[in-house]
Amino acid sequence: MQIDTWSEFKEQVRAQTDIVALVGESRTVTQKGRQFVALCPFHDDHDPSLTIDRERQTYRCWSCSEGGDVFSYLMKLEGLDFRATLERLADRAGLEMPATPEKARRRPGNDRATILKLIDWAAQKYHQCLLADPAAEPARDYLLDRGYCEEIWSDFQLGFHPGGWDWLIKQARGSFTIPQLEEAKLILPRKQGDGHLDMFRGRIMFPIRNDRGQTIAFGGRVLPGSQDEQYGKYQNSPESAYFSKSRQLYGLDHAKEAMRERKAVLVVEGYTDCIALHQVGISNVVATLGTALTHEHVQLIRRFCQKVILIFDGDTAGQNAAQRALPRLLSHEIDLRLLALPEGMDPPEYLEKHGLQEFQTLLQNAEDAWDFKLRNLAAKYSDDSVFSREQLMSEMLELLAVAPGLSGTKREDMLLNRLALRVGLRGSQEQKLRSELAKLRAKGPQVAKPSSRSHEAEPSVDFLPQEEIVSRVHRRDQADGLLKPRLDRYTLLERDLLEIVFMMPECITEILDREVPGKLRHPLVSEIVAECARLSQRNQYSGTDALLASTEDPELKRLILAIAAQAEEKKVTEKLEETALNSEGKRAPLYLSQVISQLEWEHKESHHRASTSTVALHRQEPTAVDDRMRQLLQDAAQFHQQRVTRNTASSQ
């Protein structure tokens, strides 16, 4: 893909993404004058501190200093890299990504829009079959016997594949091609011989939709007694460019508004559990798709609410699944509750036996996840002996040790305090917990005890690569350092320079003419000024908006907006109104000339200190004075004379 095409496409996506609407998908946005405000999703916000500027298509939190544009907002909110963010926003705007060499090799007609249209067409065919085809009579009887009414069939567009190896292939003739059906994961090649066969056969079909209501995949439930039961009771579409079971939740398109209103979501284990709860009026319910709740699932949920009630069957398998999910979820800033249904029942069974009111009571009493684990261990080690308390402490610390992203957070402090109270540690004794936790982390993941379930495959969780996380943290530290109120004089002047070039973009010419970039020390300042210069050479630099459009780094965007905000508060634009002749006899802003001159002087002083150290070290060595040393001595003498002259001038 050519750079120009890529840049143009980014701008097209940006132009067609309303940042107010984007933030509004996960937060309540209210208008205040020309700006909009919302609760910030990046810290525990109780008073709306996120300010959204629709004209500039930017956001900034005045409390935690997060800021950026539509790209950085989604990157930070969902932990995505830039490419995934661009694809998500392009899809949201109905735009097709420009062709990469890999895409260019695809057959015509296999673009995203066509494939999604095909998947939706298949959902309609399956649904029509369930409603009207005589072959679907067993499926209709099964659903009615299970208590699912025809209204819910339509709400969730339930369907049926009547059987046969090529029913869907025949339905598609004249409308879609075999390659398109294969790309959509609706058919697959025969293992023996030529030709293809339908992916799902003789199953009740559950369309899986993303949060925007687009059908992206299917789940199929085999009818009792079917020969296909040997392939599993439930079957999902294979992973594809459109569907990942670790990133999607069944029923989210139906549940998201209720999740916002009720500020909570119930997470169940399957399609039928989800539909059963929706049918009785509990509409803030989603289901996982054959995996435990993942990091990506939680990121998706947090766009709509902060409270998660994880409901699982009360049998041993259900409790084990909940225990395995805990380490991954513990570090998330969510209110996580666990609800184990009694007697090993699933939600439909419990509703049928005990009714809606008792189920609602169970929901109200859902237990905090940490307390759930503590209670189970307390029951396991119930004699309150020193040994039992030590075992309980050890297993809880092992849970903390393997929870990703928890180390050093306020949440970890809170959990350690609660554990200390539970095992009877007071005051300075609590430090024992922290020491033990540090030892466990130093040992690495092997601290987890062997389990009889160790052979079970654990669903993979796709976090950002570790090197990417480290890089982001490092750049964040660099950016935060530049935003501190107290800085050394050199760094303060570098920040002043950025404020100037943000408020008056044409100043970049003077900065380049005086060769300032070579004197910059802070890596992010150098990076930003270099980008300003690059854009200026193309006649594309017009201030912060141009910079935000040209960078993909969310930390750089946050820094740019924060420094621009500081510049506005300091009224830097007014300071730049006074002009004077520069060293070349041209008029330039006086404030700019002063900042550059001071920066040049600081650069000389820094160079002088380094030279002085070298000379002092050299004098300790019994060697003759070489040419390089003579030059250093001459430079030092010249600098000393310049300092005297400068001090004299400033005192007059």
In DSSP notation, 54-89 reads TTTTEEEETTT--EEEHHHHHHHHHT--HHHHHHHH
The answer to whether residue 621 scores a pLDDT higher than 60 is no
> Mind listing the domains of the chain with CATH numbers?
3-102 (3.90.580.10), 109-236 (3.90.980.10), 252-447 (3.40.1360.10), 473-569 (no CATH)
Sequence-distant (6+) residues with CB within 8 A of 594 are: none
DSSP letter string over 436-490? HHHHHHHH-GGGSPP-TTTTSPPPP--PPPHHHHHHHHHHHHHHHHHT-SS--HH
H or E stretch at 242? none
222 has which bridge partners? Answer: 203
pLDDT, tens digit (0-9, with 9 covering 90-100), for 437-464: 887 777 654 433 333 333 333 333 333 4
pLDDT single digits (tens) 13-36: 888 888 998 998 878 899 888 789
The percent of residues above 70 in pLDDT, for the chain, comes to: 80
Confidence category of residue 636, pLDDT binned at 50, 70, 90: low
Classified as helix, coil or strand, 551 is coil
Comparing CA positions, the residue from 191, 214, 291, 302 lying closest to residue 246 is 291
3-class secondary-structure state, position 286: strand
Provide the pLDDT for residue 611: 55
Map tokens 């003739």 to a residue: 173
pLDDT of 549? 84
Each residue's pLDDT tens digit, 398-440: 777 766 566 777 777 888 887 887 777 766 667 777 888 887 7
Q: What is the pLDDT of residue 126?
A: 97
Q: At what angle do helices 316-329 and 369-380 cross, to 10 degrees?
A: 130
The pLDDT assigned to 52 comes to 93
Q: What mean pLDDT comes out for the span 538-559?
A: 86
User: What is the phi/psi pair of residue 354, to 5°?
Assistant: -115, -15
Q: Are 520 and 511 spatial neighbours (Cβ–Cβ below 8 Å)?
A: no
- pTM here is 0.57
pLDDT at 104 over 90: no
Taking 60 as the threshold, does the pLDDT of residue 370 lie above it?
Answer: yes
State yes or no: pLDDT of 350 exceeds 50.
yes
- Lowest mean pLDDT across 45-54, 213-222, 468-477: 468-477
Nearest to 207 by CA among 152, 256, 265, 251: 251
pLDDT over 60 (residue 639): no
Residues 607-628 have a mean pLDDT of 54
For residue 123, pLDDT over 90 is answered with yes
In the prediction, which pLDDT does 117 show? Answer: 93
- What does DSSP assign to residue 306? S
Strands 335-340 and 67-69: unpaired
pLDDT at 103 > cutoff 80:
no
pLDDT score at 454: 32
* pLDDT (mean) for 141-169: 94
Longest C-alpha distance within the chain, in Å?
A: 105
Mean pLDDT of 468-493: 78
Q: What is the mean pLDDT of the chain?
A: 81
pLDDT at 323: 66
